[in-house]
Amino acid sequence: MTAPRSVPGLGERVHLIGIGGAGMSGIARILLARGKQVSGSDAKPSRAVDALRVQGARIAVGQDAANLGLLDGGPSAVIVSTAIKESNPELVAARRLGLTVLHRAEALAALMAGYRVACVAGTHGKTSTTSMLTVALQHCRLDPSFAIGGDLNESGANAHQGSGEIFVAEADESDGSFLAFAPRVAVVTNVEPDHLDHHGTAEAYTAVFDQFVKRIEPGGLLVACADDPGSAALADRAESAGVRVRRYGRSAVDVQLLGYEPSGNGGVARISLAGEEVELPVAVPGEHMALNATAALLAGLALGAPLSGLLEGIAAFGGVRRRFEFKGRSSGVRVYDDYAHHPAEVAAQLRAVRPVSGSGRLVVIFQPHLYSRTRLFAKEFGEALSLADDVVVLDVFGAREEPEPGVSGKLIADAVTAPVHYEPSFERLPGLVAGLAGDGDLVITMGAGDVTMLGPEILAELDRR
């Protein structure tokens, strides 16, 4: 397939505010591959910004109305994410000039035009599932285009302009923007209340998934996890409304997970597919990853890919950056980094990591993400983190939120029943962790904020000792 050069609503020159972000950088990468002129700005330098510059994007660090002039003739359209405030000087200037302003999801939907689209949604697991599906389709030599919220370990990229007819995308429910998409195949891994700072109530959060399912093309397919109550209920409602549904999980009829055994740093799942027992090797640990792999397999089959190629691709999937990513080893201590930032994600990852830790202790360094999430789920975070042998809790990474009086990482630390340390100082963390971990232990830094920077510092401190 030859990629369509025209992208509805975008024109030939596109400016992205916050171009270094996970979603925005992927869109920029695809626009450049389609021959568009791309400019952008970001608050700070990053690996993503450097990579886009190499590909031809003109990028300023810092945000200023003058950045709209980075391209000769100025931009034909400006792309923003929910994180960009209306007071941003570049957005203010774009509106004053009457330029077309599109949300990130609207731009991505425009890039999908003309493709068979698969979207993966869910409170947890969508990045890993989207990535597994992408790699599996690549192994089937279908060369899909893709846009994912994390970098594939195989390619180091979060997006790609493929030569095939399929477009795979991670669908973000956090702000409801995934309602811009109209997929042929939609995967919903689970539905648990989250992002209540935007949606307000658990009921509103659930309702947006119902709206997403209504966006599936006529004759399309919903792939849903039968083991998750929220996803299972969504599937029942969708089926009653006439949507074709295939379910997966231990309690599913369509594709049943018969068993899962840890193996090395991954595991092997046994599934029942069309009356046959199939072995599904997964190179990343945890039964939750085996479920994600099953979802990817079902979606791939619905897109017409062969079973043998999909199984081969899933077995070869090497993970996603910041999803149980190995950072190094020092003094017999292995250090990993993970993006888990919801209680269910934290619990699932710690259960998955336990067999990998062997006879060593499991030490987790957790950074809460968002004041509202910390306040709402402190008890649940405490229960999840108590699955570790030793816990260090940092202060809250506020991201887009202003601090709330009385809300800090201590709320979570107080709810942990395992040995716990509340340490708000980044400077003291490496020394504290190096003192806790010994030969054979596994350390994992966890959270959606800048806790990811600590891995190398912990390893350096272990080297010094």
Instruction: Just list the catalytic residues.
Output: 126-127, 170
From 374, 52, 76, 32, select the one nearest 197 (Cα to Cα): 374
**Residue 250 gets which letter from DSSP?**
T
**How many CA atoms does the CB half-sphere of 168 hold within 13 Å?**
32
Q: Which residues contact 177 (CB under 8 A, 6 or more apart)?
A: 82, 103, 104, 105, 106
- 3-state class (DSSP) for residue 273: strand
Tokens representing residue 104 in the block: 């990130």
Handedness of CA 210, 211, 215, 218 (dihedral sign): positive
**Residue 418 gets which letter from DSSP?**
S
By the 10 Å C-beta count (0-12 exposed, 13-18 middle, 19+ buried), 359 is classed as exposed
Q: Which residues contact 277 (CB under 8 A, 6 or more apart)?
A: 258, 270, 271
Pair 10, 36: CB distance under 8 Å? yes
Edge to edge, what strands does the sheet with 362-366 contain?
325-330, 333-338, 442-446, 362-366, 390-393, 420-422
For the chain, what is the radius of gyration of the CA atoms?
A: 22
Backbone φ and ψ for 267, nearest 5 degrees, come out as: -175, 175
H helix runs in 215-334, sequence order:
229-240, 287-302, 307-316
Any idea which residue has 């999937």 for tokens? 317
Rounded to whole angstroms, how far apart are CA atoms 226 and 234?
10
Rounded to whole angstroms, how far apart are CA atoms 75 and 69?
8
